[in-house]
Amino acid sequence: MVYLIGAGAGDPELITLKAVRILKQVDVVLYDYLVHPNIVLIASQAEKICVGKKKGAHSTLQVDINDQMVKYAEKGLTVARLKGGDPMVFGRCGEEMMALNRRNILYEVIPGISSAIAVPTYAGIPITHRDFSHSVAFVTATRANDVQAMEFPNADTLVIMMSLLRLSPLIKRLVELRSPDTPIAIIESGTYASEKKLIGTLS
């Protein structure tokens, strides 16, 4: 059995009760860099293997992560695939489900609190508002080879995730598409004690 678990947005108290219960029972945990270390430690009886992806550091290929899930599950072990945020929001959970389906391995997805919602909330920023924002879109810039060619959904609020490394070209592109007076917040390490927040306009 494999559990595809969302660990929440960063603050270890944001993990769900169900995720905590499952982590205490599993044999193996394959976890990402974005998962708070205290959450990994909940799986006190499990073998813990970091399979994270991080810019400038060793990264595990997705195909290798899939293979490890399958390998341990086919040994009869209970596996937790532990991801930051929610596993279905830019978490490659769909690819992992496909890999497990191909081998007829049982799995369950346990949702987590996505940073797309939790980080602005912690910072006191509503992503929807009855007077100002009736729609919200979540975008990632990590796969964009050419930020200047990026198109963005026509939503009142844009939440652009994993974007700090491409911040300058992103701002340049957004100024082409929206008014320079558009309010903007830039948040790093959201929900952590080390959170940094900058609020202003695109200009």
Active site residues: 32, 53, 162
Q: Residue length, the chain? A: 203
DSSP single-letter state for residue 93: H
Cα 46–Cα 48–Cα 54 angle in degrees, nearest 5: 155
Describe the crossing of helices 62-74 and 93-102 by its angle, rounded to 10 degrees: 40
Give the helix/strand (H/E) hosting 169: helix 167-177
Alpha-helix residue ranges (DSSP H) falling in 11-90:
17-23, 37-40, 62-74
- The Cα–Cα gap between 178 and 165 comes to 21
